[in-house]
């Protein structure tokens, strides 16, 4: 019996969008998932991770404005981390 493989679904999604846009959607979903935790440290660590990811996505063919977004996230996230109380 054939198993369900989600790769064609992912492939169909990525044909219409570039990798940077897909990572941006993942970033938005991860922010929504981190908000109920009510921890600014988790939110800032998530932002640092995606800032680094946005900087590397440009090397894979994404438009260069994702590098600027990654740089902005890498500047803002440590400030959030140092001002977090819990």
Task: Note the pLDDT tens digit of each residue in 13-68.
Answer: 677 888 888 899 999 999 999 999 999 999 999 999 999 999 999 888 888 999 99
Q: For residues 13 and 81, which has the higher predicted lDDT (pLDDT)?
A: 81
d(CA 57, CA 52): 9
- For residues 68-78, give the mean pLDDT: 95
**Token duo for residue 42:** 């988790």
d(CA 58, CA 2): 37
**pLDDT bucket at 2, cuts 50 / 70 / 90:** low
d(CA 51, CA 74): 5
Q: Which helix (H) or strand (E) holds 32?
A: helix 19-34
């Amino acid at each position: 019996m054939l198993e369900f493989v989600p790769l064609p679904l992912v492939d169909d999604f990525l044909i219409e969008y570039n990798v940077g846009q897909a990572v941006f959607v993942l970033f938005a979903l991860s922010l929504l998932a981190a908000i109920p935790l009510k921890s600014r440290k988790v939110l800032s660590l998530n932002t640092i991770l995606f800032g680094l990811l946005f900087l590397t996505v440009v090397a894979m063919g994404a438009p260069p404005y994702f590098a600027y977004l990654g740089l902005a996230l890498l500047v803002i996230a440590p400030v959030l981390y140092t001002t977090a109380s819990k």
